Amino acid sequence: MKRRDLLKYIGMTVGTVALSGTTSIISAAEQKDKRKRVLRIAHITDVHIRPEENAPDRFVKCLEEIKKHKVDFFLNGGDTIFAADYGNITRERVNELWKVWDETTKGINDFEIHSCLGNHDMWWAAPDKKDPMYGKDYVVKQLGIPNRYYSFDKKDWHFVILDSNNNGGSLDDEQRLWLEKDLQAIPIGTPVICLSHYPILAACTHVDGGNHTDSKYISDLFYIHKDKKISCFSGHIHLLDNAVYNDVHYYCNGALSGFWWEAGDKDSAGKTYYKQTPPGYAIIDLFDDGSVDNQYFPHSF
């Protein structure tokens, strides 16, 4: 081939590649535009509500802002109250914290709130294990949820709510068996939302740690069910993070309380930030094709 003809051929080839690339981008955009949103969810996590720091008023303002997004329901990712799990916490303090939660959430009583347990929600310092306020059962009652782990369905989406608070951040054997059966029971192609307090997998846990200690078990289980479309949401580490592994998306959506409603410390990138993450909440849009849009909204309250 002559040099002139070779250059002409190369130019045609490059043009074809560029055109095909543009076509694929346009096709992807058109396909995305054709999606139909079936659910909009507010994901709040690590509220750590307490009477100090003007947190009740600030939280109520946050909820009013969230309602403007016209969400269908709330997912509450745990650490609902400031801290009931320390050894010096009294019964009176625990009651005070749950009372503040009840009062501040009156404005969203018309919405379903599907919650999971956070590590700071349980009162372990009760006089004995038979005390009605001891441990997880009392938190389940306070949150109005059916069990410490459970699942439900909405608009052809399957929701799995996990209890991360076992052996330093994992699932217990009973829950593992339940989860295996739960995932096995849903049809192929079912889109799944999995809510946990601890991140099952997060890229930024090298900063402070905080992943599930049984991440390998759960991610291996999800790979067995790669015929479903699984997306996971968490909190706990107060950091904003987005990871993808084996086509499963893992979103860690910061903390609504940021630096526990306080101003911050030397590592805070801004007022009330935890490290580089501002306080905020996420709005999750779910579509009829099983896709997910997760958007984090920092708040200034």
**Rounded mean pLDDT for each run of 10 residues along the chain, 301 residues in total:** 46 40 45 86 98 98 98 98 96 98 98 98 97 98 98 98 96 98 98 98 87 97 98 98 97 98 98 98 98 97 96
How much is the pLDDT for 274? 97
How much is the pLDDT for 205? 81
How much is the pLDDT for 32? 59
Which residue has 């054997």 as its token pair?
Answer: 173
| List of residues 6+ apart from 268 with CB closer than 8 A | 259, 274, 275
Q: Nearest-CA neighbor of 121 among 78, 175, 162, 88? A: 78
Give dist(CA 39, CA 30) in Å, integer: 21
Copy the structure tokens of residue 20. Answer: 């095909």
Give dist(CA 210, CA 245) in Å, integer: 18
Q: Nearest-CA neighbor of 240 among 212, 199, 272, 270? A: 199
Measured between alpha carbons, how far is residue 272 from residues 101, 115, 188, 258, 277 in Å?
A: 20, 24, 43, 6, 9
Give dist(CA 194, CA 284) in Å, integer: 13
| List of residues 6+ apart from 163 with CB closer than 8 A | 116, 117, 136, 148, 149, 171, 172, 175
Greatest C-alpha distance within the chain: 92
How much is the pLDDT for 5? 52
Q: How many CA atoms lie within 13 A of 250 on its CB side?
A: 23
| List of residues 6+ apart from 44 with CB closer than 8 A | 66, 74, 75, 76, 77, 256, 281
How much is the pLDDT for 197? 98
Compute the C-alpha angle 200/114/276, nearest 5°: 50
How much is the pLDDT for 226? 97
How much is the pLDDT for 206? 80
Check: pTM over 0.85? Answer yes or no: yes
Q: How many CA atoms lie within 13 A of 170 on its CB side?
A: 13
